[in-house]
Structure 1
Amino acid sequence: MHIPDRGLLEWLDDPSTERGLYYADSGDSWNFWSYRDLTDLVLRTAAALQAGGVRPGDVVALVQRSSPGFVAGFFGALAAGATPCSIAPPFAFQRADDYEKHAAHLFATAQPRFTISDDESLERIRKVTATAGLDEPVVFEHLIDGVEPLERPLPLPETALLQFTSGSSGFSRGVRISSRALQDNLTGMRRWLEWKPEHPCSSWLPVHHDMGLIGCLLNFIVTGCDGWMMQPDDFIRSPLRFLRCLSDRRIVRTAMPNFALAYIQRRVKPAALEGFRFDALQSLIIGAERISPQVLTDFHALLEPYGLRRDALLPAYGGAEATLAVTGLPLREGWSAHTPDDATAESFGGAPVVGCGRPLEGRTVRIVSEDGEELPDRSVGEIVVTGVSIASGYVGDPGSASGTSLGQELKTGDAGFLHDGQLFVIGRLGDGLKVNGRMVFAESLETMLHERGIPERCLAVLLGHREGVPTGVAVFGGVQPGWRTIAHEVFTEWLGDAELLTVELPRGGIAVTSSGKPRRRVIWSALCAGKLPAEAKPLVADPVAEPAAEPVA
């Protein structure tokens, strides 16, 4: 099936009055914005940015929730010839001091000429921009008040997006995405998914994260389909409402990470799904973190009685430095899980790894050794990507902590293997420990611990050498009885003679990225510097309660 290219601003030429974006309100209704209405908002924003001194090539920072104003800010910046940069609003962070430190780094890197905020974020962002010596942020509604729309968009900027990495391996890094790369990635995704304007879609993912921004919102708009939009915290409060949207609106495409599938299973009981229908869903894209075969199996078992097909679950792989999508499972194929060859199968616990599909059009994936030699099928090495949508480079100091590097090719810093042309992703190369000649990965241990009952987001595994000693650390957020025993059993089995430690933080105390991944290297650095809020202690099993003594007759 041929899916044509569509320019990033082509939708502005003849916008639909019938299709558009539906935003969930605080009740059970939705607010509709047609693409015609959004076009007017975009061109008014472009005119306002020009009047505010924004010139072609400038960066426009957006600190907004998913909203019509965010759409107008993003495409309005492009229409003014500027580069949009979406920065996580404060709601994405649990602690104020974490947010301000994070945002200060992003603003210092991006150096925006103009900042658009929503009311909710204004005061916090005002402090950050003042400290950085930048102009005050402007609330979107004030920005466009009384402004006439720009007659026509300016030419696209060379850099169409300044996207920040998740920061799971340290500070987030600014990645320059060219207009060509962004358009090619959107086109590649539409062709992979056979995406048509008549396919309604839905998303609750945050628009500061590339999966929510590029994978969902930008694809919805450039394709011209109806998009049903929820906030991330709406989903957390009521995953059932999101499932009701999929059912009632006959949604064809959506996306979410592995943890969200597990969250739905914990929060939604089969009885609550009576009358729901998921037979219209053709693709539920799963990415952003390692995917558990057990989670996929259990999620399908929950929704299969209501029409969800197994082949609608589409694992994928990508990252900010690749604009977004690198590989994806083809429609109607059905996901699979495999292990590499016998020499490396035990490097990550020996459990099967979910396949993340095949390279999208115009992309190539290789697996290489530490020496850069290309490895054969089913051998574990570093994932290296080349192709049409590799980022142009980093902004400012790229750093090196994450293990990812950009050049003629993208060295991802991720470990994986190929099998029959499909990519199987294991985890970060830097978040591992060599034990008895085999590499054990933190993400693999986390997967085992989750499968044994420790919920996601309540645990982070750290692996490395502390004061020259191989060390494994279980960081708990709100530890519960039995969790130490589970962690001790798994660590003892897989980490050999390594020192085993635990750090027990309050619930919600594990430092995470804006997309919810544990910031392992940041936590590791704080541990080694003695700056964690809790002391590292030896990891031991929970004591077994002594049986009550028999009463004396």
Structure 2
Amino acid sequence: MTGLLGWLDRPDERRGIRFAEPDGSWRLWSYAELATLVRRYAAALRDAGVGAGDVVSIVETTGPRFVGLLFGSMVAGAAASPVAPPPPFGDRERWAGHLRGVLRASAPRLVVHDPALSLVAEVCAGEGVPAYDGEGLLTGAVADRRTPEPAGLALVQFTSGSSGLVRGVRVHHQALAATVAGIQRWLRMTPDDPTASWLPVHHDMGLVGCLLAPVATGSDLWLMSPGDFVRRPVRYLECFGLRGARLTAMPAFGLDHIVRRVPRAALAGMDFSGWRAVIVGAERIRPALLTEFARFTAPHGLRRAALLPAYGLAEATLSVTGVPLDTGWRTVTVEQGAVVGCGRPLADARVTVVDDDGRAVADGTVGEIVVRGPAVAAGYLPADADGTASGTRLADGELRTGDAGFLDDGELFVLGRLGDGVKVRGRMLLAEDVEATATAACGAPAGRITALLGQVGDAPRVVLLLVRPEPGWLPAARAAAEAVAEGVPVTALVVPPGVVARTSSGKPRRRLMWQDHLAGRLAATVPTAVPVAP
């Protein structure tokens, strides 16, 4: 047995996953212990009726149960479908609606959930889907030594994306294995290269890049929850500066959070010289942020070339392009400003940029990014969904991403979502352009200003959402947005943080919020909104 499940036949008793504990300590689960847990879950799932071709929905927080259920589902011959748990202070009914959509799309054989999440059981009962708590399912289960050769569907990755539409991406074992092998080659991963991550384990970057790849490699892994990272980012940095981790990945807002929340004095005694790779993806990256993070960590040994901008999406299993090790990232200045390169194709991907008629365009010409290759997913759930409404389409092995970008000397430069833009005087104005310009004009932290673009009748409009703005931000942001939008009317609203809906990777769900704005729901949820322009 090799590849994704090979570690189960020869689990290492010395290496494994260290899970962050609430008291600040780390609990090591060796790969030998995890292999036993995986086999117990595989047996328990089979006893509950799970078989080849089934889907198992997993609603668990970061921890050994999640790992046991993820691999246990695969060993049982089923596809694992990780689902994000409800946020601690989020809208329970909205999340319940999301879960109902997931269950109807994937038709799982059963759902396994954290024992503390009673809402999951309530929703499942209403949908007629069997639900088990993760502890109770193991009662009486004995480790099953059978490990079938991986085949068929491995994962169903549910992503609401920036559009707010729930889509189940079907990932076969071959695509998953191709992605993991591509990441291993890209980062030159060996069992001696520990990874540390705070990313949510139900999201493709955290799941595939920072859990499956290290486990398949047999390397140590330090695993925190996103909440752990937000509360104490220095604990995450200690994994690299004091404990020897070398590899990681995160969205750009993670770099911003570290730079703004970690005092320089807190890095005393840390050595980042062995930190080989910081993959940065999931959203458009500001060159200034990469530079700022590099300067922040350089006195402790992190090399600029360790920052690796990348591009990927769930429909490509995860990774599409990435900056090669030891080369350093670069920028190209275009009409939209300085754009960070996201590297070259990974995992044998073939990347082209096409015009509105699907014809490949010349280097430097903006168009839609199209991907082919062994890691492209098989399609969506339900089976008749094509993703067209979300702007991303999968058909016959071709992935039309719905993202705008261009190629330069073989490297991909990503600009943003085509569906989040409007045409202004013959050119495409993207929400990311407006947002970046407004944020830079104010010197605001990442995520505090969000731009929404759309049509009101036949006329384009811009809406800026400002979260806890400082004095002077509001007029500066509006003026900057008006300048880049070339006369398109701009409305600015001051909103509380919870109003800005985001995906699990931190990207704004712009089209969902635009629809709320048009329907008056956005303003209705913000009674204290301060309009700046009609």
Shorter-chain TM range is: over 0.9
Post-superposition CA distance 1:318-364 (Å, at most 9, x none): 1000000010110000011113xxxxx32x3xx11111110014111
Alignment of 1:307 with 2:301, yes or no, is yes
Contact 2:240 2:272 in 1 (8 A): yes
Give the 3-state SS of the residue equivalent to 2:137 in structure 1. Answer: helix
| CA shift for structure 1 position 459 | 2.6
The aligned counterpart of 1:464 is 454
| CA shift for structure 1 position 486 | 2.1
The aligned counterpart of 1:544 is none
Sort the Cα spacing of 1:480 and 1:98 in 2 relative to 1 into closer, same or farther, 3 A.
farther
In structure 1, what is the Cα distance between the partners aligned to 2:470 and 2:92?
Answer: 26
In structure 2, what is the Cα distance between the partners aligned to 1:100 and 1:249?
Answer: 39
Q: Out of 362-371 and 103-112, give the one that drifted further.
A: 103-112
The aligned counterpart of 1:519 is 509
TM-score, with length taken from structure 2? 0.95
The aligned counterpart of 1:133 is 128
| CA shift for structure 1 position 435 | 1.9
Contact 2:439 2:477 in 1 (8 A): no
Pairwise CA RMSD: 1.7
Given candidates 160, 170, 173, the residue that maps to 1:176 is 170
Alignment of 1:401 with 2:389, yes or no, is yes
Give the 3-state SS of the residue equivalent to 2:135 in structure 1. Answer: helix
Alignment of 1:494 with 2:489, yes or no, is no
* Structural mapping, 1:446-461, within 5 Å: 446-451=435-440, 452-461=442-451
Amino acid at match of 1:298: E
In structure 2, what is the Cα distance between the partners aligned to 1:106 and 1:50?
Answer: 22
| CA shift for structure 1 position 6 | 4.5
Contact 2:387 2:394 in 1 (8 A): no
| CA shift for structure 1 position 93 | 6.6
Contact 1:45 1:72 in 2 (8 A): yes
Given candidates 62, 77, 83, the residue that maps to 1:81 is 77
Alignment of 1:422 with 2:411, yes or no, is yes
* Structural mapping, 1:525-544, within 5 Å: 525-532=515-522, 533=524, 534=526, 539-540=532-533
The aligned counterpart of 2:284 is 290
Alignment of 1:142 with 2:136, yes or no, is yes
Bigger radius of gyration, 1 or 2? 1
Given candidates 392, 399, 407, the residue that maps to 1:410 is 399
Alignment of 1:66 with 2:54, yes or no, is no
* 5+ residue gaps, structure 1: 340-344, 542-553
* Structural mapping, 1:302-341, within 5 Å: 302-339=296-333
Contact 2:353 2:360 in 1 (8 A): yes
In structure 2, what is the Cα distance between the partners aligned to 1:106 and 1:477?
Answer: 30
Given candidates 338, 341, 363, the residue that maps to 2:349 is 363
| CA shift for structure 1 position 55 | 1.4
| CA shift for structure 1 position 97 | 2.8
Given candidates 250, 266, 279, the residue that maps to 2:273 is 279
In structure 2, what is the Cα distance between the partners aligned to 1:315 and 1:399?
Answer: 26
In structure 1, what is the Cα distance between the partners aligned to 2:490 and 2:457?
Answer: 14
Contact 1:170 1:401 in 2 (8 A): no
Contact 1:316 1:357 in 2 (8 A): yes
Sort the Cα spacing of 1:450 and 1:166 in 2 relative to 1 into closer, same or farther, 3 A.
farther
The aligned counterpart of 1:549 is none
| CA shift for structure 1 position 126 | 1.3
Post-superposition CA distance 1:480-529 (Å, at most 9, x none): 43222122111210112322112332232212222222111011111112
In structure 2, what is the Cα distance between the partners aligned to 1:525 and 1:34?
Answer: 47
Q: Out of 398-407 and 272-281, give the one that drifted further.
A: 398-407
| CA shift for structure 1 position 154 | 3.0
Post-superposition CA distance 1:128-177 (Å, at most 9, x none): 21222212x21212111221111212343411000112421121210100
In structure 2, what is the Cα distance between the partners aligned to 1:46 and 1:538?
Answer: 55
Alignment of 1:246 with 2:240, yes or no, is yes
TM-score, with length taken from structure 1? 0.92
In structure 2, what is the Cα distance between the partners aligned to 1:285 and 1:388?
Answer: 22
In structure 2, what is the Cα distance between the partners aligned to 1:166 and 1:209?
Answer: 11
Amino acid at match of 2:304: R
Q: Out of 395-404 and 240-249, give the one that drifted further.
A: 395-404
Contact 1:477 1:508 in 2 (8 A): no
Give the 3-state SS of the residue equivalent to 1:430 in structure 2. Answer: helix
In structure 2, what is the Cα distance between the partners aligned to 1:539 and 1:433?
Answer: 22
In structure 2, what is the Cα distance between the partners aligned to 1:189 and 1:183?
Answer: 10
| CA shift for structure 1 position 538 | 5.4
Give the 3-state SS of the residue equivalent to 1:476 in structure 2. Answer: strand
Sort the Cα spacing of 1:190 and 1:6 in 2 relative to 1 into closer, same or farther, 3 A.
farther
The aligned counterpart of 2:363 is 377
Sort the Cα spacing of 1:465 and 1:487 in 2 relative to 1 into closer, same or farther, 3 A.
same
The aligned counterpart of 1:442 is 431
In structure 2, what is the Cα distance between the partners aligned to 1:428 and 1:251?
Answer: 34
Alignment of 1:105 with 2:138, yes or no, is no
Amino acid at match of 1:370: D
Give the 3-state SS of the residue equivalent to 2:266 in structure 1. Answer: helix
In structure 2, what is the Cα distance between the partners aligned to 1:128 and 1:483?
Answer: 43
Identity %, equivalent residues: 46
The aligned counterpart of 1:115 is 111
Amino acid at match of 1:407: A
Give the 3-state SS of the residue equivalent to 1:91 in structure 2. Answer: coil
In structure 1, what is the Cα distance between the partners aligned to 2:344 and 2:438?
Answer: 29
In structure 1, what is the Cα distance between the partners aligned to 2:303 and 2:347?
Answer: 25
The aligned counterpart of 2:37 is 41
* 5+ residue gaps, structure 2: none
- Number of residue pairs aligned between Structure 1 and Structure 2: 527
Sort the Cα spacing of 1:537 and 1:507 in 2 relative to 1 into closer, same or farther, 3 A.
closer
Post-superposition CA distance 1:403-424 (Å, at most 9, x none): 1100131100001111111111
| CA shift for structure 1 position 537 | 7.3
